Structure 1
Amino acid sequence: MLKKLFGKKEDKVSEEIIYAPLSGRLMNIDEVPDPVFSQKMMGDGMAIEPTNGEIVSPVDGEIIQVFHTKHAVGIRSKSGMEILLHIGLETVSMNGEGFDAHVKEGDKVKVGDPLLTCNLDLIKEKAASTISPIVITNGDIVQTFTKEALVDVEKGTSRIFQVVVK
């Protein structure tokens, strides 16, 4: 009771499951053919080689960033984990061509809610790859990180990793 009155927070460990934001083949982040992601410069995570251009929320949370080129979106989960979804590699140079955003900063989302759609054929033509990293950008709050087996995944329903946040 007193802790609530005086604003002290209890140390809670929060466990979260991150679901596939895209349908396709799940792969380890170190397999991504871009050193920014494969060397985990942005953070640890997984990647998906997508089979369609529908991108959904992997967690319940809030949209904290939609890049003006619509090739990436940042989400803060309920535990405070910040997740970057980066669609394709070197897609920023497409300047939004072939991408549509269905959310904006501040929107609340649930697992499976539509975030973006993209034209995979156009990405194959104009960018380096359709491989799409899913990265935890504030990994300092992560206590444990458990990756799922590398299999084909379905957006919004397949688990890709589980995290326990400090």
Structure 2
Amino acid sequence: MNAKQLQNVPDKFTKEFTTLSPFSGQVIPISQVDEPFFKKGYMGPGAAVTSTSNIVVSPFDGKVLSVTPLDYAIDIQSKAGLKCRVKYGGDTSHLHGAQFGCSLTSGDAISTKQPLFTVNSAWLKQRGVSNICVLTVLNSQALLGVLPTHQRFVEAGTDVLFTLYL
């Protein structure tokens, strides 16, 4: 378990920031994600959402840092400096980017609710790829921690997926 992954609001903190969900569906703890790098917290603290949605949206205003279609992932940075990875599915590298659509490139400006990428969730499910979207904080060193939402279901770009505490 990642030490920055909180179970409760910290007793003392200076600031709190909310991050919207990039995906609509049912919230699951990151510890229940099949992929070991996320499950063990190597990719930072965060949360996951499972659904059959085909669109992943930006959780905030900011810019694109990198797009890795082989892994169905995009790294983004908020205007406040928060760096996050948005990843769809479990092990997707063997699919070589098939059924993944992203027109963004490094440096592109993004806005809240803007589509980051699309996936063919039905096609991926037929190939054994889980319909899960993970959002993790890559630069969590200065944070007290990340507290996932207590909501069971979230709407992309509308509902908070987690709160960051400084």
TM-score range, shorter chain: 0.7 to 0.9
Q: Is residue 155 from structure 1 mapped to residue 156 from structure 2 by the alignment?
A: yes
Distance 1:70 1:91 in 2: 5
1:77 equivalent in structure 2: 78
SS across alignment from 2:123: helix
Flag structure 1 segments of 5+ consecutive residues without an equivalent.
1-12
Give the C-alpha shift of residue 82 in structure 1.
Answer: 0.9
Q: Aligned residue pairs: how many? A: 153
The amino acid that maps onto 1:159 is V
Structure 2: 5+ residue runs without aligned partners? Answer: 1-13
In structure 2, the partner of 1:54 is 55
Deviation larger for 148-157 or 13-22: 13-22
Asked whether the 8 Å contact 1:74–1:83 carries over to 2, the reply is yes
Separation in 2 of the partners of 1:37 and 1:144? 16
Residue number in structure 1 paired with 2:41: 40
Q: Report sequence identity in percent.
A: 28
Structure 1 position 83, deviation (Å): 0.4
Separation in 2 of the partners of 1:121 and 1:130?
A: 9
Describe the superposition over 1:55-88 as per-residue Cα deviations: whole angstroms up to 9, x where unpaired: 1001111100111426100001122111000110
Q: Retained in 1: the 8 A contact 2:19–2:59?
A: yes
d(CA) in 2 for partners of 1:36, 1:150: 24
**Aligned residue for 1:110?**
111
Counterpart of 2:6 in structure 1 is none
CA distance in 1, matches of 2:63, 2:16: 17
Shift of 1:125: 1.9
Map of 1:24 onto structure 2: 25
Indicate the residue corresponding to 1:6 in structure 2.
Answer: none
The CA distance in 2 between the partners of 1:76 and 1:14, in whole Å, is 18
Question: Which amino acid in the other structure matches residue 144 of structure 2?
Answer: Q
Q: Is the 8 A contact 2:71 2:87 kept in 1?
A: no
2:97 aligns to what SS in structure 1? Answer: coil
Tell whether the 8 Å contact from 1:57 to 1:156 is kept in structure 2 after alignment: yes
Q: Tell me which structure has the larger Cα radius of gyration.
A: 1
Which amino acid in structure 2 is aligned with residue 43 of structure 1? G
| 2:141 matched residue in structure 1 | 140
